[in-house]
Amino acid sequence: MEIYIIVCKLRSKHVYESFCESVKALSDAWWHCGEPTWLIRSSLKPQQIKTKLAPHMQSDEQLLILACKDTAVWDGFDDVSAMWLKTAFRQASARRSGRQSPNYAAE
């Protein structure tokens, strides 16, 4: 499992809902943390994510998918958002390393 940042620039409102539903379906955990930005936890590779999202985009729209690895830092998020980040990164790190009880925490 990896954490991915997905940034999209969708120009058409009519594909927005189908794009959002597709992003949610790609993962076991997702967070729509800003209008163009999603964080997801998924076992898919970046190219697989792109392939699944492409049908929900028009040719003039943009998509960026970044894999987050072991380090993350954040500030200014509310408690619910910070807990999502901490939990998602902890679980992704544990699954990558095969640990049962991860000691990873990003704060």
pLDDT tens sequence across 46-62: 999 999 999 999 888 99
Distance CA 1, CA 35 (A): 24
Q: pLDDT at position 103, please? A: 35
Model confidence at 30, pLDDT cuts 50, 70, 90, reads very high
Q: Helix, strand, or coil here: 42?
A: strand
If one looks up domain 2-97 in CATH, what number appears? 3.30.70.240
- Under 8 Å between Cβ of 73 and 81: no
Query: What is the distance in angstroms between the CA of the first residue and the CA of the last residue of the chain?
Result: 20
Q: pLDDT at position 99, please? A: 58
Q: pLDDT digits over 31-40, tens only?
A: 998 888 999 9
Q: How many CB atoms lie within 10 A of CB 44?
A: 17
Q: Report the predicted TM-score, pTM, of the whole model to 2 decimal places.
A: 0.77
- Under 8 Å between Cβ of 87 and 77: no
Q: pLDDT digits over 65-106, tens only?
A: 999 876 778 888 889 888 888 888 888 777 777 654 333 333
Residues 24-30: what's their mean pLDDT?
91
Q: Round the CA-based radius of gyration of the chain to a whole number and report it.
A: 14
Q: What are the CA-CA distances from residue 2 to residues 9, 20, 54, 73 (Å)?
A: 22, 19, 20, 16
Distance CA 49, CA 47 (A): 5
